[in-house]
Amino acid sequence: MKFKNFSLRIFFGFIAPALLFSQSIVDVAKNEKERREKVKEKARIITNEILKRESKREINIIQNIYQNLEIYGIKEETKESQENQSEKKDEAYWRNLKKELEEKYRKAQEYADLLQTKLNSLWMDFYALDDPYQREQVQFRIQETTEKLEKAKDDLAKAKKELDELPEKARKAGALPGWIR
Q: Rounded to an integer, what distance in angstroms lies between the CA atom of residue 108 and that of residue 157?
A: 9
CB 122 within 8 A of CB 159: no
Q: What are phi and psi of 154, to 5 degrees?
A: -65, -45
pTM for this model (two decimals): 0.50
In tens, the pLDDT along 134-166 reads 999 999 999 999 999 999 999 999 999 999 999
So what's the pLDDT on residue 121? 92
Q: Torsion over CA of 7, 10, 15 and 17, rounded to 10 degrees?
A: 130
The whole-number average pLDDT for the span 20-43 is 74
